[in-house]
Structure 1
């Protein structure tokens, strides 16, 4: 009897070997962790029931259910979720009379979550987001979270639900344009500033020029890329409209500057020896030594003091801009960049010359149990 030869797909070996998979485990399994698990589950159940009692705020309970689903733990609360969603459907989404009272965010989130759980919320719930000409109303574009929720809701459409197909096309175009516009004007300008800062450093290097410490820092707080990083982080993580983010960045210019100086100086203290050995530009320590005739030890002490004084200036600035959530987010992030730098470059280069130390810190912080 002839044997057939099976064709090979020529797939590479799996990166996940059997032994590696078998070695994966969690230290939070076993009977000793069951009381804590039970306590956490009961706390979440209490949150669900509490929000369900507040029938005047369906968005809150829908958001909680959505969060539980995205975290992958909703299966622990199937009965509770089933009850609260039935309550929300009966009180808000079953009758068309309630639809006109909802904003785009509530309509879209409720439509998606309820359809995920088998409730048939008709596409007509979105009829009033179009004008008499059949176009989507312009004011919808002011609500970026609502637009994002509408986009996600459109993927739960059925056959012949053309309104949802139109909504998907509309929101896709809007969200893409929003990203392109940001890359506002604003980000392009910041990338240009960064490249100019690099060019200044290149000119110093090629001419053999050692700047004063003030000249160095005026350029270095930009070349360390803190303004660019903060802006990118804001656009990627914040739900605040682009225009408000841009205005907020202008208001906290000093905070961005001080954060950049702290990061640059902490970096210099940890890396300047190795970088000078490679023939790099003079760093803060060398600039101060060249300008004042100080010894290396004296320059290091001065830069350390300069970091502390800049931290004080940063703290003062932070206390004056806590009148909005976006400003708080930006200032906290800027301060954390400075803290990270002092941690990363404490005594030596934890990024380049001593990655083993950094690896140990990262494992301790994010992987190993506290």
Structure 2
């Protein structure tokens, strides 16, 4: 029973084990610098915009498509937001909403060509990558625009206030860790009871309890590390909300199951009553919105809109999805997996930087990791068949 369970969950547990191995490796190689409270916070701030993109990209990949334009869209929307807030002094909230709407319209434009005209996503988004990179340079006239209003910067660089007024330790962060631990345990127990009630396969009790204990320990160690610095970054709150919403969408909503159905077999999904064109269209609209949000977060952290913003974002987002267990053939992938894949990439980047490795070595090593992840996916698929 244990062997069958591990075999059926090889994707999920292999990427978690890989993440832990990489963390331990760089923790040792950097003499403990990797998991310092300041560096953990920096990891979150440095990788937030890639993780946002990975959440949207995994849905695109599940449907069997790819999006090469997300970095250019992020740069373009960041430039538009700077023009609105800096040049025209439009209120931050209004400018953010308008920027997200622009992202949705861009996604709708690309989704129309892909879903209804049936132009391959690779071609449409490659054209989009070139188009919006060019438009970014045009609207910025080759120059950077800065600084942004302080209220906008806090979206990426601010922290939750400590309502308990802790001195030297962010008590609110510790309390949030405890509350989340309790909610997680209660939720997992409830899900297990429902699975048993409906005669579904469940994890062996030993593994289930070990998973609960490990998750609670890691969660509270993580929040304790954050509490030693400034507490929970605002961007982490945004990311957590996105993960919860999109995990609920993919696991519990009919539309989320339709996304998987299209990636598994589009013709079969169409014959089953799934509106494949409509679902594909909205997947790219969603990707446009998340690309816009990523561009806003990057601009807020940089405190400037620059022509080179978003460079290679699409490759990092795609790599995060594949490393996190998404299949190159479509139909397989999860939001938590994409987040874990993004963390693997982020920790590798940060760890190699702490070790003083140049960008040339970093790019080469990341390329090998991506190749290994896709090769592992193909190996599993061939073994299953």
The two structures have a TM-score, normalised by structure 1, of 0.25
Between structure 1 and structure 2, the one with the greater Rg is 1
Q: Which structure ranks higher in relative contact order (CA pairs < 8 Å, sequence separation ≥ 6)?
A: 2
